[in-house]
Amino acid sequence: MSNIPNLRIRRVTAQGHLAVWVALAALLIFGVLRYDNFASSYNISSFLGYNSMFILISVGMCLVIMTGGIDLSVGTVAALSSVVAAFLSPYGLIVALPAGAATGLVVGTINAVLITGLRVPPFMATLASMLAAKGAALWLSDSRAVAVDWASDFTRLGMGKVVGLLPWTILLALVVVLAAWLLIERSSLGRTILAIGGNAEAAHLMGLKTRRAEVFVYIFSGTCAGLAGVILASGYGAGQPLEGAGWELAAIAAVVVGGTLLTGGMGSVPATIAGALLFGLVLNLLNFENGRGTFSLSANWQAVIRGMFLLVVILLQARLSRPATKT
């Protein structure tokens, strides 16, 4: 029962989201100053193109985490959808894109039913659908990569650019991000998602339509993963059933880095995107550093660096929110 104005809450809210932007800016400046080709159109477009998949998955995960849930299935759903899209690539983007998205939507719906209908905890439900999606992907593809039809316009999504500079993929991701951001800021459903946080019960007592919100976020997350899978197939020329392992955790990391708490209640779509970009940027910079020859960093080190990075961010966030969490 606190009668002391809790100014710490205000500080945590602001600082949690601010930190990631500062870090992003710092790294960008560092990169521009240090490496010759860092700011080149080639680097920018390939960086954005590659990270568009992670951005999509991260924004889906952000919404799910805002409601206090989690979606472990996004990685394997992307793999599954990449296989589906690759199979349908001969019919062109107009069929393959919606099909891939629909694949994700279906799995997302299954998640939503399990979680809101059968009251299965999100961790377990999405764990199960992650396994099921993986199984389905392997089954459909016979455990092999599925080549796309190069004759159709399918690969234009993954490999093409708008006005020769911006890859279509990042445009697609941007559209989805914008839609999500608008939803959160300007719609009742979005405010409900934000308010559910870790306490769905309280939100329900307040008269909020919590069920609707919970169903929505899982379907949305699944659809995002489906789109990411289409980008995967289209950008690499093949549907890949084995890809996607660990993607969900990369997305969680991006969301956490962006300041959205896993306990919910606080969330920011833009900050999550910044978090995803931040992780990608770290790798990008490492590649450049490798190229410079200062030290030779094998691919193995990348995982280590990513982990250490996450650790640093977590420690920083722990320091920031520490006073507020003391019992």
Partner 1 sequence: MSGGRVRAAPLPSSENGPGMTEPLLQMTGITKSFGGVPALSDGNLTISAGEVHSIVGQNGAGKSTLIKILTGVYRRDGGTIRWRGRDVELRSPREAQEAGIATIYQELTLVPQRTVIENIVLGYEPRTRFGMIDWRAAEVRTREVLSRFAIDIDPHRPLGSYPTAIQQLVAIGRAASMNAHLLIMDEPTSSLDDREVDVLFGVIRQLRAQGTAVLYVSHFLDELFAICDGVTTLRDGRTTGEARIPDVTKLDLIAGMLGRSAEDIRAAGMTNLAIDSDPDGDTVLETRNLASDRRLRCLDLKVRSGQIVGLAGLLGSGRTEAARAIFGMDRTTAGQVSLQGQTRRISSPREAIGAGLAFLTEDRKTEGIIPDLSVRENLTLALLPRLSRMGVIDEAHERRIVEEFIKALGIKTANMDQPIRELSGGNQQKVLLGRWLALEPRLLILDEPTRGVDVGAKREIQAIIRDRVAKGCAVLLISSEFEELIEGANEIVVMQDGRSVRRLTNPGVTEDSLINAIATGTS
Partner 2 sequence: MRRRLDNRLLGLIAALTTLVVLNVAITPNFLNMQTLAVNASQVSTIAIVALGMTLVIASGGIDLSVGAVMAVAGALAPILFLSDWALANPALGLFAAITLPLCVAAICGVFNGTLISLLGVQPIVATLIFFISGRGIAQVMTNGNLQTFNNPSFTWLGTGRILGLPVQAWIALVLMLVIAWVVRRTLYGRYLLAIGGNERAAALAGVPVTRVKIATYAISAILAGLAGLIVVAINSASDAARIGQLMELDAIAASVVGGAALSGGRAPILGTVLGAVFIQLMDYTLIANGIPDEATLIVTAGIIVIAIWLQSGRRV
> Binding residues for partner 1, per CB under 8 A?
1-7, 9-10, 13, 182, 185-188, 191-192, 194-195, 197, 199, 202-209, 265-266, 327
The number of beta carbons lying within 10 Å of the beta carbon of residue 86 is: 30
Under 8 Å between Cβ of 305 and 286: yes
- In the range 77-96, which residues lie near partner 2 by CB under 8 A? none
298 binds, among partner 1, partner 2, none (CB under 5 to 8 A by kind): partner 2
Least CB distance to partner 1 at residue 175 (A): 17
| Identity of the residue, 277 or 310, whose beta carbon is nearer to partner 2 in the bound complex | 310
Q: Does 246 bind partner 2 (CB under 8 A)?
A: yes
- Residue 304's binding partner among partner 1, partner 2, none (Cβ under 5 to 8 angstroms by kind) is partner 2
- As a dihedral over the C-alpha atoms of residue 202, residue 105, residue 63, residue 155, rounded to 10 degrees, the angle is 180
In the chain, the N- to C-terminal Cα span, in Å, equals: 12
Task: Single out the segment in contact with partner 2 by CB under 8 A; choices: 20-28, 40-48, 160-168, 302-310.
Answer: 302-310
Closer residue to partner 2 (CB): 68 or 270: 68
HSE-CB for 119 with a 13 A CA cutoff: 1
Q: What are phi and psi of 187, to 5 degrees?
A: -130, 155
- C-alpha closest to that of 31 among 285, 289, 304: 285
Q: How far apart are CA 54 and CA 52, in angstroms?
A: 5
Whichever of 178 and 262 has its CB closer to partner 2, that residue is 262
In the complex with partner 1, the residue whose CB is nearer, 6 or 325, is 6
Considering only 27, 95, 132, 189, the residue that binds partner 2 (CB under 8 A) is 132
Q: Is 9 in the site for partner 2 (CB under 8 A)?
A: no
Local structure of 287: helix, strand or coil: helix
CB under 5 to 8 A by kind: which of partner 2, partner 1, none does 209 bind? Answer: partner 1
- Secondary structure of residue 239 in the 3-state scheme: strand
